[in-house]
Homo-oligomer: A and B are copies of this chain.
Amino acid sequence: MRLFDYYRSSASFRVRIGLNMKGIDVERSPVHLLKDGGQQFAGSFTALNPQQLVPVLEDGDLRLIQSLAILEYLDETQPEPPFLPQGAAARARVRALAQVIACDTHPLNNLRILKYLKDEMGQDDEARNAWYRYWVAKGLSALEALVGGHPETGRFCHGDAPTLADIALVPQIFNAKRFDCPLDDYPATMEIFENCMAQPAFDQAQPANQPDAE
């Protein structure tokens, strides 16, 4: 398999965690989202993914896009250790927690959004940082309400083994820290984050540990 990613991309970080958890070694092709006017816009990359976003995972002739779809694919093709718990209700909870981040939080603060706010709407750094922190706070306060004190929450978002929810959560916390978002209001979430980061699969996937890190 070959992973096209960018060290600081949150969706790429998710897939790296998943690959590490499954113990899958991949070739790496870094795509620099800022250099050369954005290497994701090059024709060669657009041919791989018309969305012009990372990550892309190649598995033989297959080209997989969208981090959550890639993670479900990895889970279906190599079931151990599972990314989802047993039982439809538990699986729905884990998927929903992942989607609170992956649908309703992270896409609002992506590079292309911040660029639009600056270039097309003339928003300065302060206004863009306020936007960023606002949506992080919306997402994390919802997540805190969903995991804090919930009977199914354990050392991780669901039980005592990491799931898809934790894989989505951790890169979002890295982003939040990078933009100095206050995190004191999310004690249950941050305890889970620390438990994740104690796992080599998560730690080795973090941006600073990637070959293209700057």
Chain B residue contacts of A77, Cβ below 8 A: 88
Chain B residue contacts of A69, Cβ below 8 A: 92-93, 95-96, 99
Distance between Cα atoms of A89 and B77 in the complex (Å)? 9
Chain A, 137-154, CB within 8 A of any chain B CB: 141-142, 145-146
Q: Do A146 and B50 have beta carbons less than 8 Å apart?
A: yes
Chain B residue contacts of A145, Cβ below 8 A: 50
Q: Do B108 and A66 have beta carbons less than 8 Å apart?
A: no
Q: Which chain B residue shows the least CB distance to A73?
A: B92
Name the one of B50, B88, B134 contacting A142, with C-beta atoms under 8 angstroms.
B50
Q: Is the interface of A mostly helix, strand, loop or mixed?
A: helix
The verdict on A68 contacting B95 (CB below 8 Å), with A89-B62, A127-B121 known, is yes
Q: Do B89 and A73 have beta carbons less than 8 Å apart?
A: yes
Distance between Cα atoms of A196 and B153 in the complex (Å)? 39
Interface string of A124-136 (1 = CB under 8 A from B): 0001001100100
A203 at the interface (CB under 8 A from B): no
Distance between Cα atoms of A96 and B65 in the complex (Å)? 6
A103 at the interface (CB under 8 A from B): yes
A213 at the interface (CB under 8 A from B): no
A116 at the interface (CB under 8 A from B): yes
Name the one of B66, B95, B130 contacting A66, with C-beta atoms under 8 angstroms.
B95
Q: Do B66 and A103 have beta carbons less than 8 Å apart?
A: yes
Q: Which chain B residue shows the least CB distance to A134?
A: B116
Known A66-B100, A68-B99; 12 more pairs at CB < 8 Å: A50-B145, A62-B92, A66-B96, A66-B103, A68-B95, A72-B91, A72-B92, A72-B95, A73-B92, A103-B103, A108-B108, A116-B134
